[in-house]
């Protein structure tokens, strides 16, 4: 088989590049996987390197399996599976052979996130501490930070301090983190972070192990290298030190995981013997690429390149500004129906958004037109648990029906167990009354005479009495606040649950706005919303794909809509405030990833109206302004005033983030601080191990990193400037 037949000149250069440190900057859709597979095949079939001496590292099992499949089509009798693997897969192979050196058995256990949660709960139980979901998550985060922080210091890692045989931890040092790690030690279990850190520890501390594995791999290839963290890089450099043949492939413009530890700067600053650029795109039209290039050039942490293509120019990308979210959704669906009028190939269409809650107005528009769709890797908006829960509260106020009662009686927990529920069901059945009426009638009985249940009865009755004097949105705000639902969502590890409920609340406010002249009631709203919660569709149906941009990475579609391009939402001002210029550049890279998913047609949409979350009028995203006007067509009128407001907002935000950060060392116990979600609080202590501060808020204490808190006086000054 001719390995070079279908390759362009730059791809051939990359495949033929043999020895030394080689960096391949591979733009979106430039065929990097093809290059990796062909180079692997060349090493085996033309050079004669045994597959066991070739290491090819990917970031996902899916990518590893795809590469194995492709390589098999080029190679003959060799086993290609051994070392085409993920970082974690490689570390497992290393540890099975070497972990005995630190007193662990080769059949060590690998634990997942659920197992980690169980260990955390055991720690809390042993220390007689509360263990809510958020506290469990905080401990797991703290353990992770402790492991990485201690691994970086010169006086020994957490492995030296806690895990090695005969390690003596003093009782006064037995923090929650250390107890957690000791629980792991008892069962010789490692989490996914441990796999890399243990492998690094052994390679650093045992010369024979280091020599063996460094000698093992004549050639090393690493895919998606822009997503590597510091320890990934360190591992690769150790393995490559004997032969020095390191082939790294990546694209800093597609680095969208800095928030979870990836460091694209290592790839940008990689010292190499040969630099190869893959900038010929095989996916998108020139018009789409021009828009993508126009946006990403505003970043500074990148390797300059412009994607080019030999495909036909195609249609101009389209920008549409809608008056409202609902009109934005309707516009998108109208365009989809035009695109698929003849073929009905709805699966050719993808709608991308920054955050999962943004699917709400799109889903409503799709359902109105009966356009089939699927949520990629997720759940439809009105089927999400938190949405069903709060809607059930509204239904309970209006109807007091049994289904709603069963859904919310223990949300948040009122310690109403299954035995009591069965007794209540029996009574209700015998007397032919609702569960609520049965509870109300027999609230003095032993099984039901509990304060949380009596409070629940009184609360539902109270809400029923005020429902006609409250707006629906005010009633829902009252419900989620007084029942503890809001606090439960705010402290939930899955922060998007609160965002989803806020989006529902905002949609109700908009519903009230557009129907202000109509005689709407809670009943009317519940009837209308039932149209969107009714599951009258085939869940297996193929249709338009809805997904977040993070989910879309690595995928491509003939037609792509990027919706909700509102300043503050995309780019996320929260991300920019937390990570400053790095945050802004990562948001722009996320936009670049979204743009380069499109093969034939690209649509960009936003909407006007009021943003109830930011408490200001919506304005178009700065990313729209960064596209040269000649590169994009507009469908409909342009709101120049809105664009002007965007520029003002961007200037205000830049003024805010350009201020020097509060020095971590200047925080001290007793300081009053503020957090973006939890509000005002007071620092009670500092964890010298992790660098985190324990802050007491109204609803409890939380351990937070310094960059996520600010002195109250600074926050107030910033608010004054922005207002």
Q: Give the residue from 254, 263, 257 showing the smallest Cα distance to 233.
A: 263
Q: Is 50 exceeded by the pLDDT of residue 721?
A: no
The residue that leads in pLDDT, 337 or 136, is 337
Q: Provide the pLDDT for residue 624.
A: 96
DSSP for 635-703, written as a single string: -S---HHHHHHHHHHHHHHHHHHTSPPPPGGG--TT-EEEETTTEEEEEEEE-TTT--EEEEETTEEEE
Q: Measured at the alpha carbon of residue 537, what is the angle toward residues 533 and 539, in degrees to the nearest 5?
A: 100
**Arithmetic mean of pLDDT, 670-693:** 78
Number of C-beta neighbours around residue 457 at 10 A: 15
DSSP assignment of 409-438, as one string? TTSS-----HHHHHHHHHHHHHHT--HHHH
Residue in 42, 407, 486, 597 annotated catalytic: 597
Of the candidates 268, 266, 275, 228, which has an alpha carbon nearest to the alpha carbon of residue 247?
275
Which pLDDT belongs to residue 722?
Answer: 34
Higher-confidence residue of 590 and 263: namely: 590
Active-site residue among 23, 32, 588, 601?
32
Confidence at residue 662, expressed as pLDDT on a 0 to 100 scale: 52
pLDDT band for position 92 (cuts 50, 70, 90): confident
Catalytic residue among 11, 175, 254, 619: 254
Res. 382 pLDDT band, cuts 50 70 90: confident
pLDDT of residue 81: 61
Q: In whole angstroms, what is the distance from residue 420 CA to residue 425 CA?
A: 9
Using 50, 70 and 90 to split pLDDT, how confident is the model at 348?
very high
Which residue of the set 13, 16, 33, 502 is catalytic?
Answer: 33
In 345-382, which positions are buried (b, 16+ CB within 10 angstroms) versus exposed (e)? ebbbbbbbbbbbbbbbbbbbbbbeeebbbbbeebebbb
pLDDT value of position 520: 82
CA distance linking residue 505 with residue 153, whole number of Å:
47
Q: Give mean pLDDT, residues 317-322.
A: 96
What mean pLDDT do residues 275-280 have?
93
Task: Please determine, for residue 592, whether its predicted confidence score (pLDDT) is greater than 90.
Answer: yes
Residue 697: strand pairing partners: 700
Residue corresponding to tokens 């792991």: 184
617 is catalytic: no
Catalytic residue from among 191, 223, 258, 584: 223
Task: Indicate whether 219 pLDDT > 90.
Answer: yes
Mean pLDDT, range 317-340, rounded to an integer? 95
- Whether the predicted pLDDT of 655 surpasses 90: no
Query: In this model, does residue 212 exceed pLDDT 90?
Result: yes
Region of poorest pLDDT, from 39-48, 163-172, 346-355, 473-482 = 163-172
Cα distance between residue 193 and residue 88, in whole Å? 9
CA–CA distance, 702 with 142 (Å, rounded to integer):
11
Half-sphere exposure (Cβ direction) of 195: Cα atoms closer than 13 Å? 18
pLDDT for residue 597 is more than 90: yes
- Residue recorded with tokens 């069962």: 187
Looking at residue 306, its pLDDT comes to 84
Q: Which residues make Cβ contacts (< 8 Å) with residue 326, sequence separation at least 6? A: 361, 364, 365, 510, 514
**Of 167-181, 358-372, 447-461, 557-571, where does mean pLDDT reach its minimum?**
167-181
Active site residue 254: yes
- Is the pLDDT score of 614 beyond 70? no
Examine the residue annotation and report whether 223 is marked as an active-site residue of this protein: yes
User: Quick check: is 32 catalytic?
Assistant: yes
- Which tokens belong to 251? 């694209």
Q: Who contacts 174 (Cβ-Cβ below 8 Å, separation ≥6)?
A: none
Q: Does residue 701 carry a pLDDT above 90?
A: no
Question: Can you give the pLDDT at residue 613?
Answer: 59
Q: Is the dihedral of CA 627, 631, 634, 638 positive or negative?
A: positive
Mean of all residue pLDDT scores within the chain: 85
pLDDT over 90 at 295, yes or no: yes
Taking residues 447-467, what's their average pLDDT?
90
Task: State the first-to-last Cα distance of the chain, in angstroms, to the nearest integer.
Answer: 67
Contact 460, 409 (CB under 8 A): no
Flag the least confident range among 17-26, 35-44, 512-521.
512-521
Q: Residues 541-588: pLDDT tens digits? A: 589 999 999 989 888 999 999 999 999 999 999 888 888 888 899 999
H or E element that contains 711: strand 709-711
Mean pLDDT of 408-427: 87
Is 173's pLDDT higher than 70?
no
Region 260-266 average pLDDT:
85
Output the pLDDT for position 664. 46
Identify any residues that bridge with 247 across adjacent strands, giving them in sequence order.
Answer: 22, 221
The CA R_g of the chain, rounded to the nearest whole Å, is 28
- Provide the pLDDT confidence category of residue 402 given band limits of 50, 70 and 90: confident
DSSP conformational letter for 666: G
Residue 571 or residue 667, greater confidence: 571
- Burial class from Cβ neighbours inside 10 Å (0-12, 13-18, 19+) for residue 94 reads buried
pLDDT band at residue 531, thresholds of 50, 70 and 90? low
| Residues 374-386, mean pLDDT to the nearest whole number | 80
Instruction: Give the tokens for residue 338.
Output: 């035009």
Predicted pLDDT of residue 713: 54
Residue in 224, 386, 584, 599 annotated catalytic: 224
Does the structure show a pLDDT above 50 at 688?
yes
């Amino acid at each position: 088989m001719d390995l070079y037949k279908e390759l362009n000149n730059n791809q051939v250069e990359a495949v033929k590049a043999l020895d030394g440190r080689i960096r391949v900057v591979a733009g979106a859709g430039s065929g990097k996987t093809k290059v990796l597979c062909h180079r692997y095949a060349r090493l085996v079939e033309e050079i004669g390197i045994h597959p066991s001496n070739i290491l090819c590292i990917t970031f996902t099992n899916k990518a590893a399996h795809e590469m194995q499949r492709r390589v098999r089509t080029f190679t003959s009798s060799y086993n290609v599976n051994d070392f085409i693997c993920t970082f974690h897969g490689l570390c497992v192979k290393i540890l099975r052979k070497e972990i005995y050196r630190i007193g662990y058995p080769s059949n060590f256990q690998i634990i997942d996130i659920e197992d980690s949660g169980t260990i955390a709960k055991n720690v809390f139980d042993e220390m007689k501490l509360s263990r809510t979901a958020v506290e469990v998550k905080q401990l797991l985060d703290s353990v992770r930070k402790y492991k990485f922080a201690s691994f970086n210091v010169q006086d020994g890692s957490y492995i030296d301090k806690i895990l090695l045989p005969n390690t003596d931890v003093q009782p006064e040092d037995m923090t929650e983190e250390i107890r957690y790690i000791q629980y792991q030690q008892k069962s010789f279990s490692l989490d996914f972070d441990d796999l890399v850190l243990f492998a690094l520890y052994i390679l650093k501390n045992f010369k024979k192990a280091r020599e063996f594995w460094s000698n093992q791999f004549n050639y090393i290839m690493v895919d998606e290298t822009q997503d590597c963290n510091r320890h990934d890089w360190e591992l690769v450099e150790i393995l490559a030190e004997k032969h020095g043949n390191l082939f790294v492939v990546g694209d800093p413009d597609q680095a969208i995981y800095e928030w979870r530890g990836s460091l694209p700067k290592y790839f940008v600053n990689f010292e190499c013997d040969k630099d190869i650029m893959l900038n010929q795109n095989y996916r998108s039209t020139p018009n789409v690429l021009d828009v993508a290039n126009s946006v990403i050039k505003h970043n500074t942490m990148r390797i300059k390149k412009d994607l080019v293509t030999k495909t036909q120019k195609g249609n101009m990308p389209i920008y549409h500004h809608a008056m409202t979210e609902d009109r934005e959704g309707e516009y998108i669906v109208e365009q989809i129906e035009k695109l698929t009028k003849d073929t009905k190939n709805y699966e050719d269409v993808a709608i991308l958004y920054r955050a999962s809650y943004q699917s709400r107005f799109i889903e409503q528009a799709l359902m109105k037109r009966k356009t089939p769709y699927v949520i990629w890797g997720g759940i439809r908006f009105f089927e999400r648990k938190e949405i069903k829960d709060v809607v059930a509260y509204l239904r309970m106020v209006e109807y007091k029906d049994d289904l709603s009662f069963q859904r919310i009686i223990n949300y948040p927990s009122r310690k109403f167990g299954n035995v009591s529920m069965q007794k209540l069901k029996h009574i209700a059945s015998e007397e032919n009354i609702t569960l609520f009426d049965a509870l109300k009638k027999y609230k003095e009985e032993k099984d039901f005479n509990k304060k949380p249940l009596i409070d629940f009865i009184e609360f539902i009755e109270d809400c029923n009495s005020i429902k006609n004097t409250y707006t629906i949105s005010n009633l829902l705000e009252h419900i989620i606040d007084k029942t503890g639902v809001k606090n439960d969502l705010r402290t939930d590890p899955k922060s998007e649950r609160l965002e989803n409920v806020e989006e529902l609340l905002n949609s109700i406010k908009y519903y009230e706005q557009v129907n202000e002249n109509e005689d709407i009631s809670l009943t009317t709203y519940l009837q209308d919303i039932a149209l969107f919660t009714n599951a009258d569709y085939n869940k297996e149906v193929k249709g338009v794909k809805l997904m977040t941009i993070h989910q879309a990475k690595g995928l491509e579609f003939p037609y792509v809509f990027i919706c909700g391009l509102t300043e503050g939402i995309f780019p996320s001002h929260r991300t920019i405030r937390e990570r400053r210029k790095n945050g802004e550049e990562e948001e722009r890279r996320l936009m670049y990833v979204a743009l380069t998913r499109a093969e034939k047609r690209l649509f960009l949409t936003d909407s006007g109206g009021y943003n109830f979350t930011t408490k200001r009028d919506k304005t178009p995203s700065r990313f729209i302004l960064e596209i040269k006007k000649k590169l994009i067509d507009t469908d409909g009128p342009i709101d120049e005033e809105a664009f002007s407001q965007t520029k003002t907002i961007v200037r205000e935000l830049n003024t805010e983030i350009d201020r020097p950060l509060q020095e971590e060392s200047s925080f001290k116990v007793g300081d009053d601080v503020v957090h973006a979600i939890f509000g005002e609080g007071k620092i009670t202590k500092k964890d010298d191990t992790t660098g985190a501060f324990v802050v007491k808020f109204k609803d409890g204490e939380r351990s937070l990193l310094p960059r996520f808190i600010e002195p109250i006086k600074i926050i107030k000054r910033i608010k004054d400037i922005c207002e």
